[in-house]
Chain A
Amino acid sequence: MALELEAAVLPVPDGVRAELRREWGRLAAPGTWLSGEERVAVAREARAARTFADAHTELEPVLVEAAQSVSAAANLITREWVADLLTRGMTIEQYVEVVGIVSRVAAVDAYVRGVGSAEEALPDSEPGEPTRRRNIDVRPRAAFVPTDPEDGARYALSAVPAEESARDQLHAQLYLSTPQMADLTHQNELSRAQMELLAARVSFLNDCFY
């Protein structure tokens, strides 16, 4: 079974382990706009980009560029660059799906490395067609991508509901669920202040604009 994390030197909660496995399942399966094969290839390019390498997948060049950029240089992405991807044939929904995949692989890999385990092999892709489920309620706002019902961290991937849902589920296991975030007195093993200090430090090191 994937993500046994046998080499981990820190205790991995059952809920986190189960969510990481669900994420590997989501990665391998057909998505909303990309096939399972394309999704795994996006993840492969994202990993390779961390060392400024090319994974030489069969992906279209514009998908490779998006995967590599979100993985290794997200802080440099501009509205103009996203618009340029669209002129070269990518749809905004495909872009949002790439962002979702790359960002969650970054989280899984960071967690696995952080608990002392070895990098997990990417899953084999599953056959099937993308669902092509469109969120007709999204609207252009201040973000580079359309959102619903408003901009903000929670709705950044709302143009592709399956990606938004996947982010929400992983977020709840690694950090806090949405209801827990709203409750400023909530804490688990870490106090809320400790969690926010870690969040601020990581965001500073990543030069995140938010």
Chain B
Amino acid sequence: MAAAAVGVCANFEMMNRILDATGCPVPDSLHFVAGLLGITGHG
């Protein structure tokens, strides 16, 4: 289980850099998720 946790953390070390460096926002097709979570006005 610990190794799996390391894997998830390592993956997001990658993804965080990709997203920050490309400025890629959440696509329109996924805005409904924010609405489901109640964290924005989308959805």
> What band does the interface of chain A fall in when counting residues whose beta carbon is under 8 Å from B?
35 or more
B9, B20, B26: the one contacting A198 at CB < 8 Å is: B9
Query: In the assembled complex, how far is the CB of residue B20 from the closest CB belonging to chain A, in whole angstroms?
Result: 4
Report if A107-B11 is in contact (Cβ < 8 Å); known contacts: A10-B2, A75-B20, A203-B16.
Answer: yes
Is there an interface contact between A96 and B8, defined as CB atoms closer than 8 Å? Answer: no
| In the bound complex, CA of A175 to CA of B17 (Å) | 16
Shortest beta-carbon distance, B21 to chain A, in Å?
5
Instruction: Write out, one digit per residue, whether chain A residues 179-195 have a CB within 8 A of any chain B CB (1) or not (0).
Output: 00000000011100011
Interface size classification for chain B: 20 to 34
**Residues of B contacting A195 in the complex (Cβ-Cβ under 8 angstroms):** 8
A9 to B, closest residue via Cβ:
B2
- Taking CB as reference atom, which chain A residue is nearest B2? A10
**Is residue A145 within 8 Å, beta carbon to beta carbon, of the partner chain?**
yes
Count A-B contacts at CB 8 Å. Answer: 159
Chain B's nearest CB lies how many Å from the CB of A115?
A: 6
| The residue from A150, A190, A210 contacting B5, defined by CB atoms under 8 A apart | A190
Of A24-32, A54-62, A152-160, which stretch is located at the interface? A152-160
A202-B16 in contact given A77-B21, A114-B10 (Cβ < 8 Å): yes
B interface footprint on A1-45 (CB within 8 Å = 1, 0 otherwise): 000000000111100100000000000000000000000000000
Q: Does B41 contact A (CB under 8 A)?
A: no
What distance in Å separates the Cβ of B33 from its nearest Cβ neighbour in chain A? 11
Cβ contacts under 8 Å, A99 to chain B = 17-18, 21-22
Taking the nearest CB of chain B, how far is it from the CB of A81, in angstroms?
A: 10
B27 within 8 A of A: yes
* CB-based contact B21/A198 at 8 Å: no
- Residues in chain A within 8 A of chain B (CB atoms): 10-13, 16, 69-71, 74-75, 77-79, 82, 96, 99-100, 102-104, 106-108, 110-111, 114-115, 142-145, 147, 150-153, 155-157, 167, 170-171, 173-175, 188-190, 194-195, 198-199, 202-203, 206, 208-210
6 contacting pairs across A/B (C-beta < 8 A): A82-B23, A100-B18, A151-B27, A152-B27, A153-B24, A203-B16
